[in-house]
Chain A
Amino acid sequence: MSIHDFWTPFSLYPFLNALFIGISLASIFFIAALGLTIIYGAMGVINMAHGEFIMLGAYTTYVFQQFLGVPFLLCLPLAFIVLALIGWIIERGIIRTLYQRPLDTLLATWGLSLILIQGIRLIFGGQPKYVSVPKFLDFQIEANFVHLSGVRLFIILFAIVIGAVTWFLMYKTTLGVRVRAVMQDKEMAAAFGIDANKIYSITFAYGAGLAGMAGALFAAAKTVFPDMGSGYIVEAFLVVVVGGVGLVGSMFSSGILGELSSIFSYFTNGTFARFILFTLIVVFLRFRPQGLITEGATRR
């Protein structure tokens, strides 16, 4: 046993490759956390079932592809729609009653995630399922120091696109103005004639739909199994909280966390990297609990 068993020495090309993998990781974190950012930012709702929304999106894609022969690219908007519907129902049913109780929302959504995981396991069984990658994405980039699969490249591009679309929706449309008004102060927005409850439903549905799309993408990149959501939930929350619960903040924090995760993974291995990263985040949050980028809003 020596220190070398834990610590890989530095060499340029593998390190640069790690940086590129970091971008891919960052894009995955970003897409996974985007829905959560919207939901937590707009409503202050801690949705512990977010990972399960991702998982449901993956299974939706699997079902559509396997049994209905739907091409992969079409599965993305379909996953969005399906999850948006599910999210809408859940918001109306459960979340609506818990708005003033954030801790209870956390626990109730955790119970919900248990139900979803086990329900999917009962329907589909515990074996991993596979979503086939479409032909045009089935390539590998093998340049100097870059080893990236086509799917991961697609995820990076998709992250940029969906980030831009969400930004556009939030900042350039009337709906976005309404959502941001409700985010800042629900009562005042309602006093101005905005139907706050409807905005909440729409926001939750949108966040769930985003998670569904994330699941569809991840289904192509990895395997589909009932527990897959749990791997994303902690990271997604950390991205949201470190970023300061805002769109731009999540962008930055997912970038930083993705890169750091990759760099630490390069020097030690995956699980130890997680430990270092999480400890750093805990320390960071102790000194800056409001996160990286905060816009002026009512303190929740």
Chain B
Amino acid sequence: MDGNLYHNRKAQWAAYILIFVLLALVPFIFDNPFTLNQFSRYIIFSLTAVSVSLVWGHGGILSLGQGIAFGMGAYGMGATMQMQFQDPVNDPIPTFMLTNELEKLPLVWEPFWSTPIGLSLAIGVPTLFFFIFGYMMFQARVAGVFVAIMTLAMLAAWYSVVYDMQPFTAGFNGISPPSPFEIFGTQIDPYSSTAYWVCVAFLVILTLGTKFLLHTKFGLIVQAMRDDPERARFLGYNVAYYQTVLFTLSGFIAACAGILWVMVTQYVSPTSMEIMLSISMVIWAAVGGRTSLLGAIIGAFLINLGQSYAGDEFQKHWLIMLGVVFVIVVLFLPKGLTGLFESILGKFSGNNKGAKQKA
């Protein structure tokens, strides 16, 4: 067991708990509802970064298409919230459908009258899609770069569909449910601390759950596959199965982020399935440290905070700075900021002990 504090399990859990407590305390530090809403968005982004870290940092599968699940979840939530507003007797059809000359609510939209069914569909459909898509790819032993390209193509394809099916999805205008999300009889105001804490709850539960999973035998096998799939295969493990499960799980997490997104912004549009957004998720995880879930959260926060507070003069240069940071991280810091932290801690603990023992 090396002396590096970074590898100490107890220290890791402590770090996670500490960060989560800090996040939960944010509403007490910042009073401004707008700031709170911003932070809710950062939480949601860090959730997507966690899904990327899971599937890429731990599983070795570079998925550029997390936006598919994110967007599907978002649209499902958008439909649910829209139908919460509609009245079955007087006003059954959303306005954008009337503008598109639809006379009757499309069959696909019918289930969203019921909120529980709507939510289940919003999370279930993307998860199922990721399962089928992942199964198809990994059964054929598609790996590495090809997975990245295929997920990218699939994302572009779905973007086209959502953009184009204007009567069903309101096209590039997007769906703006008029009232906030309502559950268990109460409305959740997007600018309230309730909404923020719901997001934090999702983040905490999903991240800790994922961390638990990664500490089990399943997690070890998955990391073995990341490092050498062939060897894992020779050892008798069904690589396709593990990869599919991991991929599905990441889709599930991204879908949860998607429904939270619409709860917090009350708007969903094809931008949720844009290539730039999905790759940004990868950038957040990469900069923060893809091999660490907490790193992904930190990366997402840092970059998005920087983007919001870069100010007007910097806004023009922001994309260039992001590109430069990304290139530097990829070239010199493959494990991201947490990797840097890890090596610094290693210098303090590991080497000294080794030198002493040798002497």
Interfacial residues, chain A to chain B (CB-CB below 8 A): 1, 46, 94, 97-98, 101-104, 106-108, 110-115, 117-119, 122, 230, 234, 237-238, 241, 269, 271-272, 274-275, 277-279, 281-283, 285-287, 289
Contacts and interface: CB of A to CB of B under 8 A. Distances in A.
Given A110-B279, A111-B322, 12 more contacts: A1-B103, A1-B167, A111-B283, A111-B326, A117-B319, A118-B316, A237-B149, A237-B153, A271-B161, A272-B164, A275-B164, A282-B157
16 contacts: A98-B330, A98-B331, A103-B145, A103-B148, A106-B62, A114-B319, A118-B316, A230-B275, A234-B152, A237-B152, A271-B160, A275-B160, A281-B153, A282-B136, A282-B150, A283-B136
Interface in B150-172: 150, 152-154, 156-158, 160-161, 163-165, 167
Contacts of B141: 289
Interface residues of B, number: 47
A230 B152 CA distance: 12
Prevailing SS type, chain A contact patch: helix
Given A111-B323, A114-B323, A94 B331 contact: yes
Interface in B285-326: 286, 316-317, 319-320, 322-326
B148 A285 contact: no
B239 to A, nearest CB: 15
Quick one: which of A98, A115, A230, A238 has the most chain B CB within 10 A? Answer: A115
Nearest to A227: B276
Interface of B: 62, 101-103, 133, 136-137, 139-142, 144-146, 148-150, 152-154, 156-158, 160-161, 163-165, 167, 275, 279, 282-283, 286, 316-317, 319-320, 322-327, 330-331, 334
A97 B333 CA distance: 13
A238 B102 contact: no
A104 B157 contact: no
Given A103-B62, A278-B157, A285 B279 contact: no
A111 B320 contact: no
A44 to B, nearest CB: 8
B330 A107 contact: yes
Nearest to A268: B164
